[in-house]
Amino acid sequence: MSASPSVGQPVSRLEGYQKVTGSARYAGEYNVPGLLYGYVINSTITKGKIIRFDVEKAKALPGVIAIFTHENRPSLAWFAQQYSDMDAPQGSPFRPLHNADILYNGQPIALVVADNFEMARYAATLVKVEYARENFDTGLKENLLKARPPKTGLANFLKPLPPHPKGDFEKAYSDSFARASGEFEHGTEHHNPLELFTTTTIYEGDGKLTIYDKTQGTINSQLYVGNIFGLHYKDIRVIAPYVGGAFGSGLRPQYQLFLSVMAALELKRSVRVTLDRTQMFTFGHRPPTVQHTRFGAGQNGKITALNHLAVAETSRFEDYTEVVVNWSNMLYPAQNTLMEYKLVDVDVFSPLDMRAPGGLTGMHAIECTIDQLACKLNIDPLEFRLINYAETDDSADRPYSSKELKECFRQGAEKFGWSGRHMRPRSMRRGNKLVGYGMAAGIWEAFQIPARAVAIITPEGKLEVSSAVTDIGTGTLTVMTQIAADELGLPVEAVTFSYGDSKMPFAPIQGGSFTVSSVGSAVKASVKALREKLFKAALKMDNSIFKGYKIGDVDFEGGRILLKSDHSLSLSFSEIIIANKGKAIRAGKFSIPDFLTLRKYSRAAHSAVFVEVEVDEDLGMINVTRAVTAVAAGKIINPKTARSQILGGMIWGISKALREETISDHHLGKYMNRNLAEYHIPVHADIHDLDVIFVEENDTIINELGTKGVGEIGIVGMPPAIANAIFNATGKRVNQLPVHLESLL
């Protein structure tokens, strides 16, 4: 191993220069000779049928090549569509241009292809569509009485249903010394990453395609294209080295991929399809959800009863589900529990995973009810959580592989200055501003998915590692390079990590905070196997200096194998390659979780969030002035990129609590603020003093790296901590997110 390991060090992003100078190319930035451009036409009604298209004026324009609708689209394989998408929920996925039926407002119904983007966009405005309208229903709250349990099936295997009830909740709640309850409403949100969804399909001839796609899974897009269009996977190459944010919106193949490939195959030309900002509101979203909680506790502060019901929207054609109600009994022991999760079918596109799906929604309701219960008992909210601290996962009757939440509480409270909090609301002020302190716990389950990587020592003695994994801006390239470098005792500069290409070894979609644990474990395993091959090759050399020794007797450092007992005895990788007739030495490994061991444990990252808010007493304006998040997430491979992930989650938590929502008009059945002028997100002036603490957590069970992931844990605790701080400042509990100013006036 290297004398100066890079794992655990704050290494700057290796692709940072390319990104800040603009030399990093995204899916819509590849220069392709003879490229055609597609522009999508979307339905302007919410439900019904297409009667006819009038395309004559559009087709007459110079440069318009084709206009595709359901009436003239090419025949397709449509093979096993549900299982060609790693993130497909239970049901029948949406098929673009499948037939005349309109299922939701904004549905793609036609594609105009021209020799330049501007002409395609203009021609799209000239296409006239005649519809037969049908009655629709897009309101969740108006249909709560129609809520039903989700359908069960293999899809979404990472999203377990609520645990079975325990004890007698109703009696325990009725007998509780203190009770707290609430109704919580979460509106619709859309992902809105900076990079628009774009696919550039290069037609190579003979049915072969090279596709530059905005995606969180190159192999996922490859599988989708192969199955939908009946192509051999080997003839499809999907490339996505740079992804300008996604937050879950790129987990499923979006319709621009389908339309770009369809047009390219039919026209035998290269075609690029880019969705504009308005069209980014026509697929996937965080679903609106209504929740009810009832928590009870004894006079000693011990929680005795937990009830959490969540009702969320889904589409008419798929059962999109989230893990919303499972978290409270994982955090807080209770002998009497009742957890329920239901869906309401409405005329919208299927919701889609959005950073910390379900966890962000559920933790708001849970942690605000916990805060309310603590106040009723006149116990400090931090002390109340310590009284009810769970050393094991009570919901599954299993120990945690590791859990340092208590240390998160201690370090976060000390850094924030929680001891200075006043229990009585409206008792802290700065001029005309009411000041409030709030806190919340956070939890996100730690997963690992099978993945593969290949490691090679080149004839020049350099290490090259590859995986099909994408990097959606999280620092994946840098972290994988660090893992590989340490495993072979090399500096980061001596390692090349290639990624974002479906021709490379298998990687799952990038999401769920499982990428480092999954692909990182595969990288470690492949380089470890490469070490063994290098040592075996060194043993085969004539008069090998390592004859009689085993791999445990040597070190790998600086591009050499050295005898531990005498570093003067060494061989360089280059010497070993020369002895190997100049041939590169290669090792590939699939990393598969040890399910038999892991099933005995619950695995989760934890956080403690502390927030200060100022609320203008006259205007109701809310400002998050400072916040501290303490995180326990196993081994932190790169504290610089990990800190960036947590800060991004904290900022988005502020947005979720105070700014962000998609406004629906249920009379029209459509979203009304489909732009970044009216879809409000924080700007620089909204963000103040944010701090991150990584608590040391040594997990020897979860995987060989000891990692848990940090993508989601940074956001889940922020909205409830903010809501609890608002209560401490104003004495008002506002359970609808985002918090509107009028709620505090």
Rg of the chain in Å (alpha carbons)? 27
Contact (CB, 8 A) for 480 and 465: yes
Q: Is 583 exposed, middle or buried (0-12, 13-18, 19+ CB in 10 A)?
A: exposed
CB contact set of 368 (below 8 Å; sequence gap of 6+) = 182, 184, 440, 720, 723, 724, 733, 735
Omega before 738 cis (within 30°)?
yes
Q: How far is CA 350 from CA 49, 59, 639, in A?
A: 19, 33, 36
Contact (CB, 8 A) for 125 and 322: no
For 245-258, give the secondary structure using H, E and C: CCCCCCCCCCHHHH
- Helical residues (DSSP H) of 428-502, grouped into ranges: 476-487
- Rounded to 5 degrees, φ, ψ at 606 are -130, 160
Q: What is the DSSP string of 40-72?
A: EEE-SSSSEEEEEEE-HHHHTSTTEEEEE-TTT
* DSSP β-bridge partners for residue 305: 296, 336
Place of tokens 């309208």: 133
Place of tokens 């329920």: 340
Task: Give the strand pairing for 48-54 and 101-102.
Answer: antiparallel
Query: Closest by alpha carbon to 287, among 188, 139, 146, 191?
Result: 188
Contact (CB, 8 A) for 681 and 487: no
Is 318 designated active site?
A: no
CB contact set of 497 (below 8 Å; sequence gap of 6+) = 464, 465, 466, 467, 477, 480, 481, 484, 523
Catalytic annotation, residues = 712
